Homo-oligomer: A and B are copies of this chain.
C-alpha cells in the first residue's frame, strides 16, 4: 500500500536572473525584465511530495507536522524574506531560475527524511501561472 503525501509551504523572496559571465546587454536580451539590476520578487509556493507505506500503528506515512518542520528548517527559513542570489549559501554562484531552485531544494531536503520515506517531487510555483517540478534523476 503505497501513498503519496504532499505538504504546501511558502516563502517570499527577491531574486534576479543574471549570468555573470555575460554582458549586461546579453542578460537583458535573454532575461528581459527578470534581469532588473535592483531585483524583483515573488511569493513562492512550495509543494513537497513524499511516498511510502503508512505505518499500521499510526496510520501515517509520516507525521505531516514533522514534514512541515523539516521543510521549514532546511528550506523555507533559508529562503523566506531573503535575496535568493545573495543571501542563500546553496544558490551561491548558480543562476537563480526555478529550474535550478527545485534541484537544489531536492538535494537540501533529501538527507533529512527518515527511513521508509522517499522524496517523490519538489514543485515550486513562481507565480500562480508558472511552476517547475523535479522528481530526482
Q: In the complex, which residues of chain B have a beta carbon less than 8 angstroms from the beta carbon of A115? A: none
**In the docked arrangement, what's the CA distance between A55 and B54, Å?**
37
**In the docked arrangement, what's the CA distance between A38 and B83, Å?**
6
Whether a CB of chain B sits under 8 angstroms from the CB of A109 is: no
Q: Is the interface of A mostly helix, strand, loop or mixed?
A: mixed
**In the docked arrangement, what's the CA distance between A39 and B38, Å?**
9
Q: How large is the interface on A (under 10, 10 to 19, 20 to 34, 35 or more residues)?
A: 35 or more
Whether a CB of chain B sits under 8 angstroms from the CB of A99 is: yes
Q: B-contacting residues of A (Cβ < 8 Å)? A: 1-10, 12-15, 17, 19, 30, 32-34, 36, 38-43, 54, 57-61, 63-65, 80-83, 86-87, 94-97, 99-100, 102-103, 127-135, 137
